[in-house]
Amino acid sequence: ETQKPLSGDELVALTKKHSLYEWSAQSKVDPIPVARSKGIHFWTPEGKRFVDFNSQLMSVNIGHGDERVVRAIQDQVAKLAYANPFMATEPRARLGAKLAEITPGDIDVFFFTNAGAEANENAVKLARQFTGRHKILARYRSYHGATAGAISLTGDPRRWAAEPGMAGVVHVLDPYHGIQRGWDDTATALANLEETIQLEGPQTIAGFILETVTGTNGILVPPDGYLQGVRDLCTKYGILMICDEVMAGFGRTGEWFAVDHWKVVPDLLTMAKGLTASYVPLGAVGMRRHIAEHFKDKVFYGGLTYNSHPVGCAAALATIGVYQEDRLIERARSTGAVMKQLLAQLAAKHPSVGAARSIGLFGLVELVRSRKTLEPMAPFNGTSEEMQALGRFFRQEGLYTMVRWNTFFTNPPLVITEAQLREAFEIIDRGLEITDRAVRD
Ligand code: PLP
């Protein structure tokens, strides 16, 4: 018996009644009902179309509904939906080899997880077991996932409710201090990091985890020299450099991995999201050869029922095939150059734009009430009338993106055309009249 599809209102009501929405007071959530998606668009059951200007959760990098990935998933489910992690399967075999080709340096062994948080959990395990040390440095302006360990690594306010959390996590300041204070120069940022390492005792620190380009906390592109400096400090003190590329990886920044912009090879590299373009869940932590060697004779203490899930691995292989066949990394770079111009035009025209940052198709706008004081349009960890009105405007105009604090994101699927990009920016351009009206000077 086929069931009549639910209307948008019905499915919103039923999901709210029987499921919990994340990071929200339930009475405040106002989900968009979604029935189908294709390319850069998705539709409500009633057929209202949205431009997906955040690639859902900065993750559907190849765009929606790519038949090559859909078919690979279907074929794998039909042939071998599941095999436990002690088995060897073809998708696992091929995916490891493929990732070894595209990840930087001598990273060529992978542990496959369900998602980003678990990739980071297992990176911590690997770092602790490899070094025999226990502390992990992480940065304040960061998000590393919501599981017990990953939320402790997370520096942003989503951590607060999970405290005291995992023992041994030490947070360090970022080179960026918010729109009003701005950026440290590289030498100062690195000197501060080294001071923390000395004060904590380098022999107690297993790893330093950082988002190569910070995502939700502001598309913070590291100043030149910073990552190389972090690499050098980690090498000097025997600390593993763990780059979290869950959001920044897989072409988002215009390179396979964001570290590639600075030619830095971390010891551990975590990924998820773009790995399968989120068609099915899969994460991974990649490790350099010498770290993998450590576990030749020593047990790796870690495991998951869905480690190396055949469907996830098959989806990832097909997704990587799409990036390569359609040259999406190069495309993100060239379309990203256009987006940079469009962001600069917004900044030049709208007094409420305090800063606009991007790398590839990873972009964000920070809104302010004053160009002189750079007072944010919403407080840290808060919102405001104007930011909410901007969010409502985007939604009404059929532009989906994330509006957070005083910022909003421009993270379209990498397949977006220049014309589609310009159309989306035309909506943003009109929306910013709302926030411009709140500017004092
Ligand atoms: N790390 C980063 C940088 C992320 O952006 C995210 C998710 O947004 C995660 C880790 C957690 O990944 P997941 O939600 O797949 O567990």
User: 46 lies in a domain?
Assistant: yes
- Best residue among 220, 247, 411 to mutate for probing ligand 1's pocket (most ligand atoms within 8 Å of CB) is 247
| Among the listed residues 129, 89, 123, the one whose alpha carbon sits nearest the alpha carbon of residue 311 | 89
Task: Ligand 1, residue 114: give the atom nearest the CA.
Answer: 15
- Best residue among 55, 243, 246 to mutate for probing ligand 1's pocket (most ligand atoms within 8 Å of CB) is 246
The finding on whether 409 has its CB within 6 A of some atom of ligand 1 is no
Instruction: Output the domain CATH number for residue 235.
Output: 3.40.640.10
| Among the listed residues 164, 112, 95, the one whose alpha carbon sits nearest the alpha carbon of residue 320 | 95
User: 3 lies in a domain?
Assistant: no
Shared domain for 122 and 203, answered yes or no, is yes
The finding on whether 156 has its CB within 6 A of some atom of ligand 1 is no
User: 2 lies in a domain?
Assistant: no
**Long-range contacts, stretch 289-297, CB < 8 angstroms, 24+ apart:** 289/106, 289/107, 289/108, 289/109, 290/106, 291/109, 291/126, 291/130, 291/240, 291/267, 292/108, 292/109, 294/129, 294/130, 295/129
List the chain residues with pLDDT less than 50: none
| Among the listed residues 342, 302, 330, the one whose alpha carbon sits nearest the alpha carbon of residue 415 | 330
Instruction: Output the domain CATH number for residue 424.
Output: 3.90.1150.10
- Separation in Å, CA 84 to CA 130, 140, 222, 304: 25, 37, 40, 9
Shared domain for 245 and 317, answered yes or no, is yes
* Domains: count for the chain: 2
Shared domain for 184 and 292, answered yes or no, is yes
User: 441 lies in a domain?
Assistant: no
User: 77 lies in a domain?
Assistant: yes
Q: What is the rounded CA–CA span in Å between residue 66 and residue 38? A: 8
Q: What is the C-alpha radius of gyration for the chain, rounded to an integer number of angstroms?
A: 22
- Of the three residues 306, 325, 344, the one that is the final residue of a domain is 325
Shared domain for 145 and 199, answered yes or no, is yes
pLDDT at 1: 61
Shared domain for 388 and 266, answered yes or no, is no
**Which residue puts its alpha carbon closest to atom 12 of ligand 1?**
116
Domain that holds residue 341: 8-62+327-436
The finding on whether 244 has its CB within 6 A of some atom of ligand 1 is yes
Shared domain for 393 and 421, answered yes or no, is yes
User: 219 lies in a domain?
Assistant: yes
Shared domain for 98 and 208, answered yes or no, is yes
User: 12 lies in a domain?
Assistant: yes
Shared domain for 253 and 216, answered yes or no, is yes
pLDDT at 2: 75
The finding on whether 245 has its CB within 6 A of some atom of ligand 1 is no
The finding on whether 116 has its CB within 6 A of some atom of ligand 1 is yes
Shared domain for 105 and 236, answered yes or no, is yes
The finding on whether 117 has its CB within 6 A of some atom of ligand 1 is yes
The finding on whether 123 has its CB within 6 A of some atom of ligand 1 is no
406, 376 in Cβ contact below 8 A? yes
Q: How far is the CA of 247 from the centre of ligand 1 (A)?
A: 7
pLDDT at 3: 86
- Best residue among 55, 139, 143 to mutate for probing ligand 1's pocket (most ligand atoms within 8 Å of CB) is 143
- Percent of the chain that is helix, strand, coil (3-state, to 5): 45, 15, 40
- Of the three residues 325, 346, 363, the one that is the final residue of a domain is 325
Distance of CA 355 to the CA centre of its chain: 20
The finding on whether 413 has its CB within 6 A of some atom of ligand 1 is no
The finding on whether 306 has its CB within 6 A of some atom of ligand 1 is no
